[in-house]
Structure 1
Amino acid sequence: MEIRWLQDFLAVAETGNFTRAAAMRNTSQAAFSRRIQQLEGWIGVPLIDRSVFPTALTPKGEQFRVTASNILSQMLEMRSELKGFPDAGGAQHFRLAMPYVLATARFPAWWTQWTRQNDFTATLVVGNAHEIAVGLTSGAIDMMIGFSAAQQPFYPERDGVESIEMETDFLRPFISPALLEREGYRFPGEAHRPLPLLMYSSGVYFARLVDLIIENAGGITHRRHVIENDMSDVLRDMAIEGHGIAWLPESTVAAGPRGTLVAIGGAQWSMPMSILAMRERANTNPAVSRLWQLIRRTRQTPPARRRPSPHSPRLDPANETHP
């Protein structure tokens, strides 16, 4: 049996939809269905009731769901023990998950803030949006932090889970100043000057947000896709090198070299996002409770009342649309 079979099973159990679960697991529906069938073959009983819609678990599947969650949780705990992490499982330790983009751009500053008066230790798990959501559902992690846009929630609301908005960010299209000056690109593109786009791979959370942004703005008439990749940092570095336009969180751009990118296109080509901390209400880890209260006390002002930071990436005035 493969661990990804358990992750796949928990994905379809959580979403109730094979297509959505396959997309969140960044695989084709055919490959996803085969792995579920392999898991059922290994277990020896049907886990998914395919005679009803939406997709539901069989009674045996509901029973196995608890086992699958426990297995993933125990494996993570065992990995920490085998690695000999100091204080793992102690009163100051917690297991935290977040996407790579936040782990690199925001986590070090958060850790400095959290540990000023606390001797926390942590196991930091980095993964895509779906992987960390499954980790929370399965009990493999104590808390997750991720981006969430109102039009495409990162994690559907459900009983037993609570969230705090820690900060706000914007997903904007960015371009190198040299490329913009040389080519004069403007949205939605021109026949003789199609926009070179650096895009997220299909199934990635930000890919869905970018699709929504483009759809809401009326579409891009003339475009060409230069590359696709899962990671914002890769697309940021490609944009810095002048290879095209990439939709990036402002925090990711701010974490890179200053002055290397400018936002392009104006407000209609951008989307506000919340940075949410989420946990299971039933979590009894005392370190998580202390961290939760600390985040609640120090969370930033909602976006409507925030003033732009003087260090925020500047907008290109020729392409910005003011309200």
Structure 2
Amino acid sequence: MELKWLEDFVSLAETRSFSRSAELRHVSQPAFSRRIQALEAWLATELIDRSVYPTRLTQAGQIFYEQALTMLSQAHEARTLLRGHVGAPVPTIEFAVPHTLSLTYFPRWLERIEAKMGQVHTRLRALNVHDAVLSLVEGGCDLVMGYHHPSHPVALDPARYDMLILGSEPISPFSAPGRAGRPRHTLPGAADARVPYLSYTPNAYLGRMTEVIIANAPTRLFLDRVYETDMAEGLKAMALAGHGVAFLPHSAVDDAVAGGRLIRLDRSARGAGAHPFTLTMEIRLYCDKLALQGDDPRQKLVRALWDVVRDELRETAGGTAG
């Protein structure tokens, strides 16, 4: 039996919906159903009454629900206890952060927080947005910092998870300069002169944001996908070398733009404030509410940091708690 099967079952018992629980657990519905079936096979009994709608538990499922809660609680308590004694002599907050934010936003953000509460021992796992959120759901980290946009929202249950909006991050197209300081590549291109396009892989969150920009562009973009990677830093390096146009978060290219090594391409003739190929994402911080209620040293540290961040946002009116 796997721990995630218990977490799946508890979620299903609470939502009474396979589709909703699959969404909250960040897996496809077929995969979620297979995991529930695997748990039932391991227990040799049916937990779900599939003859009715909405879904409900069988009598065995109702009994096992209480047992599952106890087992999960004990497992998490054991992990918390061991984290405090093995390999971490002092309380350490575990972050899951997308690669780009881990290199750009996170270091400056942590410096600002530590100026208010003193040095914080942290451990950071650089993951894509999906895996970072999944790590939080499965108890693999304390806090997740990630991007959010209404077109591709992070589906975490607000009854279970707290959220703070730390700020915003625009993503825009950039090119290396060519002759006379003008962009080497320009948009929108033409059917017979497509622009070399440095692309994210399809499953990358920033790739989905770029697809939204392209789909909603006021004029058709003629692009030739010549390179693909899931890392913004990889696209930045290719753009700096002049290989094409890349859509990049501003925090990843501020230094290159300031030094004249990259040029933003969507400055419209309609005015300095018009940027037809830019999309703005929120930068959010997520936490499991249960982690803010514990009394072990690490949970107290997580709660202290959360309070500092929330209070800072209230003071500056630059963020939102939810």
Q: So what's the TM-score if we normalise by structure 2?
A: 0.70
Give how far 1:143 is off. Answer: 1.5
**Does the CA contact (< 8 Å) of 1:99 and 1:129 recur in 2?**
yes
The question of 1:275 aligning with 2:283 is answered yes
- The one-character-per-residue Cα deviations of 1:83-136 (angstroms, maximum 9, x if unpaired) are 612314xxxx32222111111112222222222332421222221111121222
Secondary structure in 1 aligned to 2:163?
strand
CA distance in 1, matches of 2:166, 2:260: 27
CA distance in 2, matches of 1:49, 1:225: 49
After superposition, the CA RMSD in angstroms is: 4.3
Q: Report the equivalent of 1:84.
A: 87
**Does the CA contact (< 8 Å) of 1:95 and 1:124 recur in 2?**
yes
Bigger CA drift: 64-73 or 137-146?
A: 64-73
CA distance in 2, matches of 1:44, 1:202: 40
Higher Rg of the two aligned structures: 2
- The one-character-per-residue Cα deviations of 1:180-223 (angstroms, maximum 9, x if unpaired) are 84755222x21232021111112221222111111111574422
Matching residue's letter, 1:210:
T
- The one-character-per-residue Cα deviations of 1:13-32 (angstroms, maximum 9, x if unpaired) are 799559x97xx77xx99999
**Does the CA contact (< 8 Å) of 1:144 and 1:277 recur in 2?**
yes
The question of 1:97 aligning with 2:83 is answered no
Unmatched runs of 5 consecutive residues or more in structure 2: 268-274, 294-298
Q: Report the equivalent of 1:163.
A: 163
- Structure 1 residues 2 and 138, CA gap change in structure 2 (3 angstroms): closer
- Structure 1 residues 96 and 69, CA gap change in structure 2 (3 angstroms): farther
Q: Of 292, 300, 303, which residue of structure 2 is paired with 1:289?
A: 303
**Does the CA contact (< 8 Å) of 2:96 and 2:143 recur in 1?**
yes
CA distance in 2, matches of 1:259, 1:67: 59
The question of 1:263 aligning with 2:277 is answered no
- Structure 1 residues 2 and 281, CA gap change in structure 2 (3 angstroms): closer
The question of 1:252 aligning with 2:255 is answered no
Unmatched runs of 5 consecutive residues or more in structure 1: 304-323
Secondary structure in 1 aligned to 2:178?
helix
- The one-character-per-residue Cα deviations of 1:229-288 (angstroms, maximum 9, x if unpaired) are 111111111111111111111011125683321211242211111111111233222212
The number of residue pairs the alignment matches comes to: 292
CA distance in 2, matches of 1:201, 1:236: 14
Once the two structures are superposed, the pairs formed by residues 225-244 of structure 1 within 5 Å of their partners are: 225-244=225-244
CA distance in 2, matches of 1:147, 1:6: 28
Matching residue's letter, 2:306:
W
Q: So what's the TM-score if we normalise by structure 1?
A: 0.70
Give how far 1:6 is off. Answer: 6.6
Q: Among all aligned residue pairs of Structure 1 and Structure 2, give the percentage whose two residues are the same amino acid.
A: 26
- Structure 1 residues 73 and 260, CA gap change in structure 2 (3 angstroms): farther
**Does the CA contact (< 8 Å) of 1:195 and 1:222 recur in 2?**
yes
- The one-character-per-residue Cα deviations of 1:40-59 (angstroms, maximum 9, x if unpaired) are 877777899999999x7977
Matching residue's letter, 1:158:
P
**Does the CA contact (< 8 Å) of 2:104 and 2:252 recur in 1?**
yes
